[in-house]
């Protein structure tokens, strides 16, 4: 027999589980990105502090300018590497989000078809349609 309260309870539980998985995924990815950025910032700060001291100690303007150019190029490459790593994290995150959304939509569609079949008295009709589609 069709019990709307049980169906609603099942749907809410499934929705809550999916929401918790989304929240967990979001927190994990934010933590990865934050750590990546903080590690990069720390490395750049240490590197620039070291190079700044040597630049200040250098009396030759040409050598100082050449050294500063090298430091700037190294920093630019470092930021490109960090951006690449952040993009990898974002791509992985997008794939996981898509998987969760697809999984949720599939479960919702199946539950909807089953409910519709029960309401119309055609048990198994939802199963046939989902296999055909």
Q: What's the predicted TM-score (pTM) here?
A: 0.60
pLDDT in tens, the chain (133 residues): 467 777 778 778 878 888 898 899 999 999 999 999 899 888 888 888 887 777 777 777 788 788 888 888 888 888 899 899 989 988 998 888 888 888 777 766 777 677 767 777 765 444 455 455 4
DSSP states of the chain: ---HHHHHHHHHHHHHHHHHHHHHHHHHHHHHHHHHHHHHHHHHHHHHHHHHHHHHH---HHHHHHHHHHHHHHHHHHHHHHHHHHHHHHHHHHHHHHHHHHHHHHHHHHHHHHHHHHHHT-TTHHHHHHHH-
């Amino acid at each position: 027999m069709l019990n709307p309260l049980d169906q609603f309870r099942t749907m809410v539980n499934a929705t809550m589980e999916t929401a918790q998985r989304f929240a967990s995924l979001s927190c994990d990815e934010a933590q990865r990105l934050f750590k990546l950025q903080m590690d990069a910032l720390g490395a750049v700060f240490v590197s620039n502090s070291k190079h700044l001291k040597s630049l200040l100690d250098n009396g030759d303007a040409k050598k100082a300018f050449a050294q500063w150019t090298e430091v700037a190029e190294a920093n630019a490459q470092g930021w490109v590497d960090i951006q690449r790593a952040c993009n990898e994290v974002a791509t992985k995150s997008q794939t996981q989000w898509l998987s969760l959304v697809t999984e949720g939509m599939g479960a919702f569609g199946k539950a909807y078809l089953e409910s519709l079949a029960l309401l119309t008295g055609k048990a198994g009709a939802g199963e046939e349609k989902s296999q055909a589609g």
